[in-house]
Amino acid sequence: MTAFRITTFQFTCQLIGVVVITLHLLASQVSAETNSPVVVPKLVQQAEQARIKAINKARPSAVSVFMPGGGGGGSGVLISPEGYALTNFHVTSPAGSYMKCGLSDGRVYDAVLVGLDPVGDLAMIKLLGRDDFPVATLGDSLKSKAGDECMVIGNPFLLATNLQPTVTYGILSGVGRYQYPSGTLLEYADCLQTDASINPGNSGGPLYSSQGDLLGIVGRGSFEKRGRVNVGVGYAISINQAKNFLGYLSSGRIVDHATLGATVTTDPDGGVVVSNILESSDAYRRGMRYNSEILELAGRPVSTANDVQNVLGTLPNGWRIPITFREEGKTIETLVRLPGVHRRDELLTKMASAMPPPPPVPDQPGDKPDNQEDQPQRRRRPAQRPDPNAPQPKAPKPESPKPQPHGPGPGGARKKPVKIPPQAMALIKNREGFANYYFNQQNQDRCFKSLQDQFPAGETWKLTGKTADGKDIKLLLSNEKCVVSLGDRSLELKAKSDFFDAVDTGNDAALLVALDSLRRLMLLGPEKFGETYYWGTMPLGGQRPLRDCMLGTSQEIEHRWLMHPETGALECIEAFADRDTDPAEAWLEYDNGKLTGLDLRFGVESKRKITELQIEFDAQTTSDAAPAKETAAANDGEDQ
């Protein structure tokens, strides 16, 4: 059906073209004989005006990326007025932390690396110099269909040295394509295929709909054994996948993709079944077994193994998603936490082996030593003579960063060695495991400030409330002791092992572990709490909007604090003792913006629910619990 639709569409386009050309020739002949004006059919005029309008809407957000020193380049697309833009991992990897970017307004901007997704071939960069950049309108790639018109705007063969990007037009030749990775990197899942011309240099650039909305990030083409020339088969990472990773990329981290902890195969009789599963996986803990039939993942029906990989390949490591499967005739709807494809060190090793060396830049007088933390690595090479015939970019306006000339393609010459300007260097901070720790620190500060607005830095917290069966419950948290009392029974955490065991065995004292992590975070701050960083955004209980997540490890337990993206209200604290067991989840419940309840959960079950919550901080008693900014329900709203 799809192939027939495309053939019919192409035939119709060709027929319309022949008719228009014939009418134009006839009109020209009549006009020459009668000296009367040519009349273009109204439908043709409307179609042409719509196409021009869409291009004019889209083109300002397209970015031409150039490596300092003429080391290559590519394309990108702006997604925020502050200058955040998306491109490919394989475009930014030769540049390191700094690059130059041009827009169709004729200006060149400094840009720095923000975050990397080497598995999905995505990267986020930030253009500097203004806070009102033109941005693309994000579309919905799941609504796209084969045969829809589309366009690609970018920098093929680095032709945009005059900062005017190239526009190519075509159709979506296919949707939901899967392109195998190189090892485990550069995987294109659920991607879009197009016949709009894509060539080297278009990488990282935008694929727009015929209305000028952003549908994807161009990344690869079927160039193998075809001499690196366009053959009408190009692929773009779906914008819906990019949306899932925006929070992770803005964290400044090097991020990983998700897997299920199980392998699947397409059943000859139809459907997708589990062919192998790890007993340590969350999917196994939720009841999935060998030969279970998977029906839905993250709200999307799946019927083949390719469908499963297309969904998983668009999701970040650590997300929790709804899943539906059938086991022994029983349909189970539950939530599953997705592990990563790689271990952390494994991903860094594979990424390093896949990256080319950074472009060599001679040392400059006054440069900081190469071993200084905030100075990207530099290498020496002989100076190159500038190419006098190389096209020159337009001179920017006075307030713009001065552009560097680039040759017409990779390896082009430059006039002088490139030095990272101070305004860009101030936004670059190296740290192992991060693409750019500067942006992680910014997000940490933002999240911690939000928590400070809700909870004081008190050494002693006392909480009282009622359990579901009407019993009194008391919790005492301090530097000296952590005790939970339920009726005439008490549990106290003394040694470090007690905290670990409380989470690992799933008892009531796990609520102490979660709450005490918050108390110590507020008292000590992120720097002294332990290894603390901003993780990104993720669903809470499998539901959107995506929550901000800050992560900290202390006493051999990993804690996650999840906050509503709009109100900043803390909604859940997760404590992980072992990856092979369920974490303790302390859900915070609000009433009219007041914290009034707690719910301790393991897996998908509630262990202990507390209502009528009252809190004392140190010696000061409050009639109500700590206020949140606003009520933040766990299951409302859309992805931000």
Last residue of a domain, one of 337, 358, 375: 337
Last residue of a domain, one of 337, 355, 371: 337
What string of H, E and C letters represents the secondary structure of 363-386? CCCCCCCCCCCCCCCCCCCCCCCC
Residue 551, domain CATH: 2.50.20
Asked if residue 300 and residue 443 are part of one domain, the reply reads no
Last residue of a domain, one of 315, 337, 359: 337
203 flagged as catalytic: yes
pLDDT of amino acid 503: 96
Residue 591 domain-assigned (yes or no) = yes
pLDDT of amino acid 228: 62
121 flagged as catalytic: yes
3-state SS assignment for residue 2: helix
Task: Supply the range of the domain harboring residue 493.
Answer: 437-621
Sign of the C-alpha dihedral, residues 444, 625, 466, 463?
A: positive
Task: For strands 543-554 and 149-154, give the pairing.
Answer: unpaired
Is the previous residue joined to 410 through a cis bond, with omega within 30 degrees of 0? no
Asked if residue 610 and residue 474 are part of one domain, the reply reads yes
Residue 192 domain-assigned (yes or no) = no
Nearest alpha-carbon partner for 476 in 488, 490, 495 = 490
pLDDT of amino acid 10: 53
Token digits of residue 325: 């499967």
| pLDDT higher than threshold 60 for residue 41 | yes
Residue 373 domain-assigned (yes or no) = no
Give the tens place of pLDDT for each residue, 237-252: 999 999 999 999 999 9
Asked if residue 595 and residue 447 are part of one domain, the reply reads yes
Give the tens place of pLDDT for each residue, 261-304: 999 999 998 899 999 999 999 999 999 999 999 999 999 999 99
| pLDDT higher than threshold 50 for residue 65 | yes
Least confident of 377-386, 519-528, 567-576: 377-386
Residue 313, domain CATH: 2.30.42.10
- E strands along 162-226, which residues? 166-179, 188-194, 206-209, 213-221
Residue 316 domain-assigned (yes or no) = yes
Which residue's entry shows tokens 């080297």? 200
* 442, 428 contact by CB (below 8 A): no
Beta-bridge mates of residue 570:
563
User: Which of these is catalytic: 90, 257, 406, 564?
Assistant: 90
Residue 549 domain-assigned (yes or no) = yes
Neighbour-count burial for 393-430, b at 16+ CB within 10 Å, e otherwise: beebeeebbebbbbbebbebbbeebbbbeeebbebbbb
Total structural domains in the chain?
Answer: 2
Backbone angle region of 618, left / alpha / beta, with phi > 0 → left and psi within -120 to 50 → alpha: left
Residue 523 domain-assigned (yes or no) = yes
Give the tens place of pLDDT for each residue, 120-169: 999 999 999 999 999 999 999 999 999 999 999 999 998 988 999 999 99
Least confident of 63-67, 331-335, 386-390, 583-587: 386-390
Tell me the C-alpha distance between 115 and 136, whole Å: 19
Rg (CA), the chain: 28
Asked if residue 445 and residue 332 are part of one domain, the reply reads no
197 flagged as catalytic: no
Token digits of residue 603: 């897996």
Tell me the C-alpha distance between 314 and 241, whole Å: 5
Tell me the C-alpha distance between 512 and 477, whole Å: 7
- Mean pLDDT over the full length of the chain: 85
| pLDDT higher than threshold 70 for residue 372 | no
Residue 517 domain-assigned (yes or no) = yes
User: Which of these is catalytic: 64, 141, 173, 203?
Assistant: 203
User: Which of these is catalytic: 117, 121, 307, 582?
Assistant: 121
Element (H, E) at 52: helix 42-58
Asked if residue 314 and residue 455 are part of one domain, the reply reads no
Task: Name the percent of the chain lying above pLDDT 90.
Answer: 71
Element (H, E) at 618: none
Asked if residue 455 and residue 575 are part of one domain, the reply reads yes
Amino acid (one-letter) located at 452: Q
Asked if residue 441 and residue 332 are part of one domain, the reply reads no
Tell me the C-alpha distance between 215 and 33, whole Å: 48
Element (H, E) at 127: strand 122-127
- Centre a 10 Å sphere on the Cβ of residue 627 and count the other Cβ atoms it contains: 16
Task: For strands 98-102 and 108-117, give the pairing.
Answer: antiparallel
Least confident of 176-180, 425-429, 610-614, 617-621: 617-621
Q: For the residues of 132-160, what is the DSSP string, one character each?
A: ----PEE--GGG--TT-EEEEEE-GGG-G
Residue 55 domain-assigned (yes or no) = no
pLDDT of amino acid 401: 35
Tell me the C-alpha distance between 338 and 183, whole Å: 20
